[in-house]
């Protein structure tokens, strides 16, 4: 399902749809995330990093929250490149014009 219907939703024109998918991905427990194939885990990470730079503040905020969750996963917190990418994305979020994005980015950096 992740490789078909869900991935199409990340490109939906409606901001709330993209934000909802981010919220859904943030609810995936670490044990389930770790059980996914390597390709699916990389896809989830890459999509969230990209959506952290979305044009819609709601999407940026929810993607930042998801990155803040993912960084607590032991399998991801030991990946130096992912940690660096998350740190950069969330640091950019601290300078966002939208307060909600700044709050979520701050929370994510706290988890980092």
pLDDT for 5:
65
Q: Which domains occur in the chain, in start order?
A: 2-111 (1.25.10.10)
The confidence band for 3, taking pLDDT boundaries of 50, 70 and 90, is low
The confidence band for 4, taking pLDDT boundaries of 50, 70 and 90, is low
Burial environment of residue 38 by CB neighbours within 10 A (0 to 12, 13 to 18, 19 or more): exposed
pLDDT for 2:
54
Tokens 């939906």, residue located:
12
Q: Does the pLDDT at position 6 exceed 70?
A: no
Q: What is the DSSP string of 42-105?
A: HHHHHHHHHHTT-SSHHHHHHHHHHHHHHTTSHHHHT-HHHHHHHHHHHHHHHT-SSHHHHHHH
List, for residues 53-110, the tens digit of each pLDDT value: 999 999 999 999 999 999 999 999 999 999 999 999 999 999 999 999 999 999 999 9
DSSP letter, residue 10: T
């Amino acid at each position: 399902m992740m490789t078909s219907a869900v991935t199409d939703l990340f490109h939906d024109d409606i901001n709330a749809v993209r934000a909802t998918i981010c919220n859904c991905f943030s609810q995936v427990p670490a044990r389930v995330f770790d059980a996914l194939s390597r390709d699916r885990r990389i896809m989830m990470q890459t999509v969230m990093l990209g959506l952290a730079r979305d044009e819609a503040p709601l999407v940026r905020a929810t993607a930042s929250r998801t990155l803040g969750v993912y960084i607590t996963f032991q399998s991801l917190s030991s990946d130096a490149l992912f940690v660096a990418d998350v740190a950069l994305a969330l640091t950019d979020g601290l300078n966002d014009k939208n307060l909600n994005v700044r709050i979520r980015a701050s929370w994510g950096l706290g988890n980092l």
